[in-house]
Amino acid sequence: MMRYRELLPFLDREPAMLPLVTPLVTAPRLAAELGLGSLRVKDEGCQPSGSLKARPSAVAVARAKELGFATIACASSGNAAISLAAMAAAEELEAVVFVPERIPRPKLAQLQVFGPRVVVVRGPYESAYALCEQACREFGWYNRNCAQDPFLVEGKKTCGLEIGEQTAAEPPDWVAVAVGFAAAAISGMLAIGFLLSWLRHRSVAIFCAYRVVFAILIVLLVASGR
């Protein structure tokens, strides 16, 4: 992450637990099944907390500590909570995570390994999110929730910068991103576009699948110049 420090000017130091530079893995059989000439997959499962969410959580926790917060909180159904708990433990900050009652048990077990305060909320994710928002306001905690903390996008964009750097010799035609709030897609699009432009390559098209389980597709195209 800190290889892009000049593009993260708000960080005064590197996070205590650094997200890793993850590999691009070629997937020829999946490419053939989808009718593609080639396909590369960014393996974010290699991160310390097991997902892309390590990147934004590392930035959020470092930022919270710089600003003097003792506690950081978020609502999550799994990956964001796990990453926040891991990064907060490394920075010796208290983490409070609000999870819906139907959180998968394996994710709950993984989350508890890092020792956060876990609040199981009756109802869906939206209920956990609302309660977390209220608690952050009332107790003065740092709010790591997506769509609330603008620095999360800065962490996620490092994944896009890595993709741009790793594919500099052969830029992709499309980048497919599975999203929830679309922050990953937007930050990735900006980062990849910036880096490939800086390297004087053609622009890329970003394909964004919003909430894949509902098969709702949002296509974001960057001008190709053609």
Domain boundary among 81, 110, 143: 143
Euclidean distance between CA atoms 212 and 210, whole angstroms: 6
CATH code, domain with 96:
3.40.50.1100
Q: Which two tokens stand for residue 135?
A: 């608690």
The pLDDT tens digits of the residues spanning 43-56 come to 999 999 999 899 99
Task: Report if residue 205 sits inside a domain.
Answer: yes
Query: Which pLDDT band holds residue 189 (cuts at 50, 70, 90)?
Result: low
The pLDDT tens digits of the residues spanning 162-185 come to 888 888 888 887 777 776 655 555
The pLDDT tens digits of the residues spanning 11-36 come to 777 888 888 899 999 999 989 988 88
Instruction: Answer yes or no: do 113 and 41 share one domain.
Output: no
CA-nearest of 44, 45, 68, 71 to 156 is 44
Contact criterion met (CB below 8 Å) for 64 and 145: no
Euclidean distance between CA atoms 82 and 97, whole angstroms: 9
What is the tally of structural domains in the chain?
A: 2
Task: Report if residue 226 sits inside a domain.
Answer: no
Domain span holding position 24: 2-47+153-220
Domain boundary among 143, 173, 200: 143
Query: Which pLDDT band holds residue 8 (cuts at 50, 70, 90)?
Result: confident
DSSP-derived 3-state class of residue 75? strand
Task: Report if residue 139 sits inside a domain.
Answer: yes
Q: Is residue 207 pLDDT above 50, yes or no?
A: yes
Question: Which residue would you say has higher pLDDT here, 123 or 151?
Answer: 123
Instruction: Answer yes or no: do 19 and 75 share one domain.
Output: no
Task: Report if residue 162 sits inside a domain.
Answer: yes
Domain boundary among 122, 143, 164: 143
